[in-house]
């Protein structure tokens, strides 16, 4: 943690001359003071009070105006009991820090440093370089390469290098198609055995809207290392009337291929050789100007080749369905609603009734909300038949660039005798022009 914060500080200090000559500089940050008191059955009550600081700097229009710099990181210190299983009571991370150059033509750009890449099958954090540009006749190309960022608490879960890209085709306003792939070398598949292999994924994605009332989104991913489909995920939205919206979803995950590179094998086990399929739909109808009614249904089917009690309880067909009412008043400043859902588990293990009610108020200067959730189980779980949670939040904008807010919640469920949590949050956003004027 100390090295991380030191490198972040050195990076910011070394860039001060650049910041001074930059056209636009903006800074943002959030200070969090969290309070948590938990009581687990059979364990001593814990009091956790971590203080966390997030901080970011964005510098635009450097040099010829096309270069920009982006930095973001965080640090935390525990003021009471440890909030993690780590030995130290401090922690931190350099989340991202990169230079971005935008070319004046072809919507082209090049990025270098630590950053997130989200292109088709790739959703990664890397230390490296990426480039993208629009090609002729509606095509576009993105490529990236570097080293995958190691997870703070498991430095063996990532490979030595990563590379990939996406080729897309766009028919403006109607269709976008993409094919993508990535290759990550020397990944640790199982920390216990030390087994390593390359991670190889390819995929295709689509966005299709032939009419304004129709929109299709989706993707399919294939695990080339295990030679099998990893995931299908598609959603369809229809708006036949101005006041009516219909939606449909289909999802499919094959555990062996989907969780192959998981660093939490005890939870996301790729050896089950099972799959999960789900499909369903919903409808939203604006009956009157302030009132909306919605209903939804989802069907799940889970299979697993491992024959133990936990997996057996989750195997089979499950259904979740319900409806909700939402009220919007005072030019959208007030929002409230109530919902009911029923979950019917394959063998009763996940069968319960759920009722939720919420209310929110946002005047621009002052915000407040209250949210309550109750679940009533079909069977007792650890000798309890219900779970509930109450969450309240409030915030006040002291100045246009400074917001003070806080949350508090109380929870009681089969796992917890009770839990009380609170967060105090101070968020600022500040921007200056190159002549020192506040924006």
Return the pLDDT at 309: 40
pLDDT for the residue 198: 86
Round the average pLDDT of the chain to a whole number and report it. Answer: 86
Res 211: pLDDT:
93
Report the pLDDT value the prediction gives residue 2, as an integer from 0 to 100: 47
Report the alpha-carbon distance of residue 355 to residue 325 in Å, rounded: 12
Query: For every residue of the chain, which 3-state class applies, written as one string?
Result: CHHHHHHHHHHHHHCHHHHHHCCEEEEEEEEEEEEEEEECCCCCCEEECEEEEEEEEEEEEECCCCEEEEEEEEEEEECCECCCCCCCCEEEEEEEEEEEEECCCCCCEEEEEEEEEEECCEEEEEEEEEEEEECHHHEEEEEEEEEECCECCECCCCCCEEEEEEEEEEECCCEEEEEEEEEEEEEEEECCCCEEEEEEEEEEEEEECCCCCEEEEEEEEEECCCCEEEEEEEEEEEEEECCEEEEEEEEEEEHHHHCCCCCCCCCCCHHHCCEEEEEEEEEEEECCCCEEEEEEEEEEEEECCCCCHHHHHHCEEEEEEEEEEEEEECCCCEEEEEEEEEEECCCCCCCEEEEEEEEEEECCCEEEEEEEEEEEEEEEECCEEEEEEEEEEEEEEEECCEEEEEEEEEEECCCCCEEEEEEEEEEEEEEEECCCCEC
Under-50 pLDDT residues of the chain: 1-2, 4-5, 307-311, 436-437
327, β-bridge pairs? 291, 336
Cα of 333 vs its chain's centroid, Å: 26
CA distance 406 to 396: 9
Among the listed residues 407, 343, 334, 376, the one whose alpha carbon sits nearest the alpha carbon of residue 30: 407
250 forms beta bridges with 234, 279
Rounded CA-CA distance 180/166 in Å is 4
Strand partners, 46: 38
- Do residues 423 and 406 make contact, with C-beta atoms less than 8 angstroms apart? yes
Interacting residues of 368 by C-beta distance below 8 A, sequence separation 6+: 360, 361, 392, 393, 394, 395
Give the residues across from 76 on adjacent strands: 52, 91
The three-point CA angle 247-296-210 to 5° equals 5
Cβ atoms within 10 Å, residue 266: 6
Q: Which residues pair with 347 in a beta bridge?
A: none
| Residue 362 CA neighbour count, 13 Å, CB half | 9
Distance (Å, whole) CA 252 – CA 262:
18
Give the number of other CB atoms < 10 A from CB of residue 359: 15
């Amino acid at each position: 943690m100390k090295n991380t914060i030191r490198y972040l500080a050195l990076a910011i200090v070394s860039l001060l001359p650049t910041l001074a000559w930059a056209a636009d500089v903006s800074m943002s940050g959030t200070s969090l003071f969290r309070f948590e008191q938990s009581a687990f059955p059979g364990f001593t009550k814990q009091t956790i009070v971590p203080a966390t600081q997030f901080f970011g700097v964005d510098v635009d229009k450097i040099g010829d105006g096309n270069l920009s710099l982006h930095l973001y990181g965080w640090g935390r210190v525990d003021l009471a009991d440890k909030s993690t299983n780590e030995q130290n009571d401090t922690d931190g991370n350099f989340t991202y820090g990169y230079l971005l150059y935008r070319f004046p033509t072809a919507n082209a750009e090049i990025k270098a440093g630590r950053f997130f890449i989200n292109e088709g099958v790739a959703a990664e954090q890397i230390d490296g370089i990426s480039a993208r540009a629009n090609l002729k006749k509606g095509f576009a190309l993105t490529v990236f390469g570097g080293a995958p960022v190691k997870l703070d608490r498991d430095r063996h879960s990532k490979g030595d290098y990563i590379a990939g890209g996406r080729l897309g085709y766009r028919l403006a306003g109607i269709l976008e198609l993409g094919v993508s792939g990535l290759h990550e070398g020397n990944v640790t598949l199982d920390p216990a055995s030390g087994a390593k292999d390359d991670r190889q994924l390819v995929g295709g994605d689509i966005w299709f809207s032939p009419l304004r009332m129709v929109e299709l989104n989706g993707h399919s991913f294939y695990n080339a290392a295990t030679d099998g489909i990893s995931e299908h995920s598609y959603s369809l939205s229809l708006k036949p009337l101005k006041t009516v919206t219909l939606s449909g979803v289909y999802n499919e995950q094959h555990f062996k291929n989907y969780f192959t590179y998981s660093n939490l094998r005890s939870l996301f086990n790729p050896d089950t050789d099972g799959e999960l399929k789900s499909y369903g739909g919903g409808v939203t109808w604006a009956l009157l100007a302030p009132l909306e009614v919605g209903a939804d249904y989802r069907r799940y089917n889970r299979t697993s080749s491992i024959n133990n009690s936990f997996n057996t309880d989750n195997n089979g067909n499950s259904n979740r369905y319900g409806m909700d009412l939402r009220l919007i008043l005072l030019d959208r400043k007030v929002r409230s609603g109530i919902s009911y859902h029923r979950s019917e588990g394959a063998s009763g293990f996940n069968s319960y009734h759920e009722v939720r009610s919420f209310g929110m108020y946002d005047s621009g200067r002052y915000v407040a909300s209250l949210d309550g959730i109750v679940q009533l189980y079909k069977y007792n779980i650890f000798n309890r038949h219900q779970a509930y949670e109450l969450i309240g939040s409030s915030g006040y904008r002291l100045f246009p660039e400074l917001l003070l807010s806080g949350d508090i919640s109380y929870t009681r469920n089969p796992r917890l005798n009770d839990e009380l949590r609170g967060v105090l949050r101070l968020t600022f956003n500040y921007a200056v022009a190159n002549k020192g004027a506040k924006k």
